[in-house]
Structure 1
């Protein structure tokens, strides 16, 4: 086991050294990005992940860089990096940040999660569904962010499950692994967890049934065991119905505003369900 962890850390060190020596634009063009969130999952696929400290892997500057996450509404967040990249999740054209984002991710469960007419200034529009018949496959390096996805199935007309119709988007920024579950309609299997790897920050729908019931969603959250959990997509049930699914191994807090700023250094030691204003 210790040897496996050693291999994982060696892989992480070489991955970051390689990316640090290549400018972001060149990295995007000349080499595939390396996911530092997946590295341990590939080495130890059966581990149930708790929080991960990269203090011995990342340079101090990267550990100190902060990411600002602002809840805009429904399942839409604006993720802002230290390098000036702005990423909007489940972009639908209604909930917009003050400035045009660099990246917009979308899912197609309902029109509140996507638009086919995004504002033209968005540099990268990433659909969570496949446009060519197969599953969506994203691995985008833009500035100081790496965006990838893990596909899941989605309920379509008549309740039939459509394979790979939804995407869990994962944003790797400043050493953080930030995941947005999208419109998740089923519990994840071991293959999904291995593809996802570690998630430090998790954006999770808490509608109580439009996606999944609270018990099913709480099992996903418990398994991922992210340090910071941001509820979203609340429709109907009070937030307390979701919170009641968790024991004292999870903390709870209510924000006084719609934003939270987080870095590797500031991650809570104990998993924290943090309800941003507006949820």
Structure 2
């Protein structure tokens, strides 16, 4: 599987069979260049403009935006209820964590998670090979909470997202606050994940922005 970061909480996952999955697409007001990359599947963690702009994705993708199990060919996507804040959604509403299973890999995109999951949810998520996690705080968990979640889930790869960059004008922190807690982090333009060649320890990867 190939994984590219398109900005904010939006990633492009390309499977070995060339199925394209886009997570949480944003609209033009967020500030990042619109990718305009066709996709087969789009996941939407919650209905905010910077995560649900399905109309910006070319083609006729299947949209997955509900909790529960979704089978799309050889891809299984499971959504888990969570919240956008620490008050069970009273401030910013609900959020869905998605786990994508294909090619023997389990990829977890937590959306705009605003709290640390309880033990039941942690157990439900299970083994995670790639974790896409917000680190900017204010609207989501912050760098320290994200680091704690990484410790609890022990994923193989960690991809930070939803942080301050020159493209956006949101009151969130830069990725450096998170990366300083993982000084051995790597930087890549593209992450290629193979179930047969996973590292033994958790590896944080800062992906550079992919602009097409």
Distance (whole Å) between structure 1 residues aligned to residue 4 and residue 163 of structure 2? 16
CA offsets, 1:98-132, max 9 Å, x none? 3x2111111336311113645573331122xxxxx
CA shift for structure 1 position 218:
1.3
CA shift for structure 1 position 275:
0.5
Please, what TM-score do these two structures have when normalized by structure 2? 0.82
Please, what TM-score do these two structures have when normalized by structure 1? 0.64
Q: Corresponding residue for 2:198?
A: 267
SS at match of 1:111: coil
Q: Corresponding residue for 1:114?
A: 52
Q: 1:140 to 1:96 in 2, by over 3 A?
A: farther
CA shift for structure 1 position 240:
2.5
- The answer to whether the aligner puts 1:194 opposite 2:127 as a matched pair is no
Q: Corresponding residue for 1:229?
A: 158
> Aligned residue pairs: how many?
197
- The answer to whether the aligner puts 1:76 opposite 2:10 as a matched pair is yes
Give yes or no for contact 1:176–1:200 (8 Å, CA) kept in 2.
yes
Larger Rg over CA atoms: 1
Q: 1:213 to 1:92 in 2, by over 3 A?
A: closer
Q: 1:161 to 1:194 in 2, by over 3 A?
A: farther
CA shift for structure 1 position 252:
1.1
Q: 1:87 to 1:93 in 2, by over 3 A?
A: farther
Q: Corresponding residue for 1:241?
A: 177
Q: Corresponding residue for 1:124?
A: 62
Spell out the pairing of 1:171-190 with structure 2 (5 A cutoff): 171-190=100-119
CA offsets, 1:13-66, max 9 Å, x none? xxxxxxxxxxxxxxxxxxxxxxxxxxxxxxxxxxxxxxxxxxxxxxxxxxxxxx
Distance (whole Å) between structure 2 residues aligned to residue 271 and residue 173 of structure 1? 20
SS at match of 2:63: strand
CA shift for structure 1 position 243:
2.1
Give yes or no for contact 1:88–1:104 (8 Å, CA) kept in 2.
yes
Distance (whole Å) between structure 2 residues aligned to residue 194 and residue 244 of structure 1? 28
Q: Corresponding residue for 1:154?
A: 84
CA shift for structure 1 position 273:
0.4
Q: Which structure dedicates a bigger proportion of its chain to strand?
A: 2
Q: Which structure dedicates a bigger proportion of its chain to helix?
A: 1
- The answer to whether the aligner puts 1:91 opposite 2:25 as a matched pair is yes
Tell me how large the CA RMSD over aligned residues is.
Answer: 2.5
Q: Corresponding residue for 1:55?
A: none
CA shift for structure 1 position 97:
5.0
Give yes or no for contact 1:71–1:78 (8 Å, CA) kept in 2.
yes
CA offsets, 1:200-238, max 9 Å, x none? 110111113320122222111110111111111112433
CA offsets, 1:73-111, max 9 Å, x none? 11100101112211100023554353x211111133631
- The answer to whether the aligner puts 1:205 opposite 2:134 as a matched pair is yes
Distance (whole Å) between structure 1 residues aligned to residue 122 and residue 85 of structure 2? 20
Unaligned 5+ segments in structure 2 are 29-33, 165-171
Q: Between 70-79 and 89-98, report the one with greater CA deviation.
A: 89-98
159, 163, 185: which one aligns with 1:252:
185
Distance (whole Å) between structure 2 residues aligned to residue 75 and residue 177 of structure 1? 18
